[in-house]
Amino acid sequence: MAQNHQRADDGRRPFRYTFLNQTHTDVSSLVRALAAHWEEGKAELSEGSLSEGFAPYDAEAAALCRQAERDCVADPQDDDWIFLDLLYRLDKGLKTFFKRGTPYSDLKVLGREILKDLREGDFSECRFWNGLLRKNILSDHGRRLFREAKSAKIASVLEGIGDPDTDDERTQILNTYAVGYFLANEISFVTDGKTVKTVPQLTQYMNALLDISYEALAEFCHTLIDYDNVPDVQLEAFLLACGKKEELAAWRADMD
C-alpha cells in the first residue's frame, strides 16, 4: 500500500511506496519486489493500490496501472501477461523475463523447457503461452529481453502462427512450439532420440531407415502421419518453422 509523505524542499514529493512492509524509494526497486512476489504484486494491481500509489508522483504511471486494472478485468486469463507488461512499462531497465514470477535471465533455457514439455505430450500450458502472443509481449519488449539478435530464420517463426485467440487446441499447440523455438533460438525435430534441425536432415534420416528396410521406414512414417492423414503435431510445427507452410497446404489439398 502506498503512503503519503510531505513534499521535499524543492517542491517535489519523493517517491515512497510500501509493499509487504518494505518501503521503496525508487520505482525500479518496487518493480523488482513486485516481480519477486508475483501473486502479491498482482493483488496490488487488481486492488487498485498501484494506481493509487503512483498517482501523487507520476500521472503517466498511474494511468498505466489503471489501464492494466481494466485489462485484467476484461481478460482475467491473461492477468500474468498484463502484469508483466505493466512491470516493463513502469521500469524501462527491467530486462528479466518472468513466468508467473519465476525469473529467467536466459530465455534459451525457458524455450528448451517449453519444447521438452510439448515433446513429452504435456500441453497443459499452451493456452498460457498463447497469452504471450495475444498480449504482444515479445514484439513490444523483445529487444530488452534477448542477449543477441535473432536470425531472420528464427525471427520469422512467429510470423506464421495461427490466431492466438483461438480455442482450437491444435493451433494453440502449434503456436506454443513456435514460442519455444523462438525463445530457445533453435528449430529442431526430435524423434527416436535423434534431433534434426533442417528438412534435408530429416530426409537423410528417412533414407537411412529405408536402407535398413522398407518396414523400418513405413513404421517411422506412421509416427509422422496417422492413418487419417493427420501429421504429427511436432512435425507440423517443425515444418511450419522451416518455412514449409505452402507445401503443407498443398499436401493437405492433395489429401482432400
53, 71 Cβ separation under 8 angstroms:
no
Q: What is the pTM of this model?
A: 0.86
Residue 118 burial (C-beta neighbours within 10 Å; 0-12, 13-18, 19+):
buried
pLDDT of residue 8: 35
**Rg value, the chain, Cα:** 23
Half-sphere exposure of 2 (CA within 13 A, CB side): 22
Cell 523462438 appears where? 182
The values of phi and psi at residue 25, to 5°, are -110, 5
Question: How far is Cα 92 from Cα 71, in angstroms, rounded to an integer?
Answer: 21
Cα 124 to Cα 112: distance, rounded to the nearest angstrom: 16
The C-alpha atoms of residue 51 and residue 86 are separated, in whole angstroms, by 11
pLDDT at 12: 57
Mean predicted lDDT score pLDDT of the chain:
89
With 70 as the cut, is the pLDDT of residue 229 above it? yes
Q: What is the pLDDT of residue 227?
A: 80
Q: Which residues in the chain belong to E strands, given as ranges? A: 17-19, 22-24, 97-99, 102-104, 189-191, 194-196
Instruction: Report helix, strand or coil for 229.
Output: coil
Q: What is the pLDDT of residue 125?
A: 96
pLDDT tens, residue by residue, 42-56: 999 999 999 999 999
